[in-house]
């Protein structure tokens, strides 16, 4: 959202700080561009862990949402996300979790271990419930099945009455710069699919692939070229010529540009030759991937002041009693004033969920959604001390 609109909402008291604002108009334009690049052949799926507040909107737009926990499934139920749009993934699915997902009639359940497979078998047989299943191939870490276990499931799929083994799922990390690693992974997956077809006549209809597309956050990065990697990736997928549909499962790349984090100046001071701006937020509410002690500077706008006065470099620090609470270093502004508001851009992914909100028991920020000229408050501030001790 533009600074002028923010200023108007703040002047009439409709917007407070610290807070997150999710701009749905920005998100929909971004999604539209991604859909144009993906074309008709490449599917798209939203990994809602990046920002659960966007789950219903993204489900309506893409028709596919990845859910990775019972809590995320509960969010989808409250938001009335269409069950057929849900891919229920994640480690540590208990029998009760699986039963709940089947009760909601989710479209797909992924299998990440032999135990999950057996629990899913049991739940489906007891309920005479048929479900589509994707087997997740491990990338060498705690997620997914090794090849031996995956092939055991595939080779016995004809014995299943209620499990339709119809997809392969693979994800190996986030914020990958360049697409060479993606291309190597996809080529390996294509070869493995050919091997499964030859050995077991298993030809899945779907490859669910998490590319971990890079999204720029910092001032020295190429924001104009943020779609370039996706364009190249889709081209590589076409060149590799998969025998099934490929769906790109992404969270950060979808959600990042939709969110702003707003925090107000509460104190200004100089120590030796350094200027400090203390704000009412902090690192417990703002989290950029790859940020470490504010060694890089995200995009920051400012509400307040007239741009006049001496330009100075400021260290922007939060309200926490820790040396680590630095949001940005040496950011140049004309004269700052108390109650000026700083807007940290591209905060739509993970800050709402990954930042350590309970640290020092500060209030958790309000969350707003803006769409087509309307600003709605979708979560009030939360007194985090009550989550520690009632």
- The structural domains of the chain, with segments of one domain joined by +, span 3-20+257-380, 25-253
pLDDT, position 293: 81
List pLDDT tens digits, range 309-366: 788 999 999 999 999 999 999 999 988 999 999 999 999 999 889 999 899 999 999 9
Q: Which H, E and C letters describe 192-224, residue by residue?
A: HHHHHHHHHCCCCCEEEEECCECCCCECCCCCC
Residue 333 is encoded by which pair of tokens? 């502004």
Is the domain 25-253 a CATH 3.40.30.10 member? no
Distance CA 173, CA 152 (A): 26
Residue 120 near residue 98 (C-beta atoms within 8 A): yes
pLDDT, position 307: 67
* pLDDT of 63 above 70: yes
Rounded to the nearest 5 degrees, what angle is found at the Cα of 219, between the Cα atoms of 215 and 220?
Answer: 85
367, 369, 361: which is closest to 380 by C-alpha? 367
Rounded to the nearest 5 degrees, what angle is found at the Cα of 146, between the Cα atoms of 145 and 147?
Answer: 115
The Cα-based distances of 310 to 79, 306, 314 in angstroms read 49, 12, 12
Q: What number is the average pLDDT over the span 51-78?
A: 97
Q: What is the DSSP string of 69-133?
A: SHHHHHHHHHHT--GGGEEE--S---HHHHHHHHHHT-SEEEE-SHHHHHHHHHHHHHHT--EEE
Fold entry, domain 3-20+257-380: Lyase, Ornithine Decarboxylase; Chain A, domain 1 (2.40.37)
What length is written for the chain?
Answer: 390
Element (H, E) at 55: helix 55-62
pLDDT, position 143: 94
Mean residue pLDDT of the chain comes to 95
Distance CA 362, CA 384 (A): 6
Question: 18: cis peptide before it, omega within 30°?
Answer: yes
Q: What number is the average pLDDT over the span 212-234?
A: 95
pLDDT, position 294: 86
Sign of CA dihedral 185, 188, 194, 196: negative
The DSSP 8-state label assigned to residue 301 in this structure reads E
pLDDT, position 388: 87
What share of the chain in percent tops pLDDT 90? 91
Q: What number is the average pLDDT over the span 256-280?
A: 97
Distance CA 327, CA 230 (A): 29
List pLDDT tens digits, range 80-126: 999 999 999 999 999 999 999 999 999 999 999 999 999 999 999 99
pLDDT, position 308: 73
* pLDDT of 389 above 90: no
pLDDT, position 291: 87
Distance CA 278, CA 265 (A): 6
Domain 3-20+257-380 and domain 25-253 have a common topology:
no
Residue 44 neighbours by CB under 8 Å, 6+ apart: 34, 35, 38, 62, 64, 247, 248, 250
List pLDDT tens digits, range 17-47: 999 999 999 999 999 999 999 999 899 999 9
pLDDT, position 243: 92
pLDDT, position 369: 98
């Amino acid at each position: 959202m533009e600074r002028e609109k923010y200023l108007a909402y703040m002047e009439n008291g409709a917007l407070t700080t610290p807070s997150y604002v999710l701009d749905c108009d920005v998100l929909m334009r971004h999604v539209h561009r991604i859909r144009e690049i993906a074309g008709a052949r490449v599917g798209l799926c939203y990994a809602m862990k990046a920002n659960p507040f966007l789950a219903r909107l993204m489900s309506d737009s893409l028709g596919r949402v990845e859910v990775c926990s019972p809590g995320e499934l509960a969010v989808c139920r409250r938001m009335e996300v269409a069950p057929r749009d849900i891919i229920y993934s994640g480690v540590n699915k208990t029998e009760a979790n699986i039963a709940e997902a089947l009760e909601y009639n989710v479209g797909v359940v992924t299998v990440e271990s032999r135990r999950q497979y057996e629990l899913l078998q049991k739940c489906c047989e007891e309920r005479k419930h048929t479900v589509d299943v994707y087997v997740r191939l491990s990338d060498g870490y705690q997620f997914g099945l090794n090849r031996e276990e995956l092939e055991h499931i595939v080779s016995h799929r004809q014995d299943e009455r209620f499990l339709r083994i119809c997809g392969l799922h693979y994800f190996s990390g986030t914020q990958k710069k360049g697409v060479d690693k993606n291309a190597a992974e996809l080529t390996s997956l294509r070869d493995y699919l050919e091997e499964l077809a030859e050995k077991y006549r298993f030809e899945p209809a779907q490859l669910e692939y998490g590319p971990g597309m890079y999204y720029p956050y910092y001032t020295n990065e190429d924001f104009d070229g943020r779609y370039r990697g996706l364009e190249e990736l889709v081209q590589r997928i076409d060149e590799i010529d998969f025998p099934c549909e490929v769906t790109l499962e992404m969270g950060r790349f979808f959600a990042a540009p939709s969110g702003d984090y707003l925090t107000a100046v509460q104190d200004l001071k100089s120590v030796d030759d350094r200027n400090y701006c203390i704000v009412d937020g902090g690192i417990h509410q703002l989290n950029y991937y790859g940020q470490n002690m504010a060694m890089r500077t995200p995009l920051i706008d400012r509400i307040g002041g007239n741009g006049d006065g001496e330009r100075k470099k400021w260290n922007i620090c939060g309200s926490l009693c820790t040396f680590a609470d630095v949001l940005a270093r040496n950011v140049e502004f004309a004269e700052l004033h108390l109650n000026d508001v700083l807007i940290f851009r591209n905060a739509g992914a993970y800050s709402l969920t990954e930042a350590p909100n309970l640290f020092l028991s500060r209030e958790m920020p309000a969350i707003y959604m803006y769409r087509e000229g309307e600003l709605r408050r979708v979560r009030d501030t939360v007194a985090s001390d009550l989550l520690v001790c009632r």
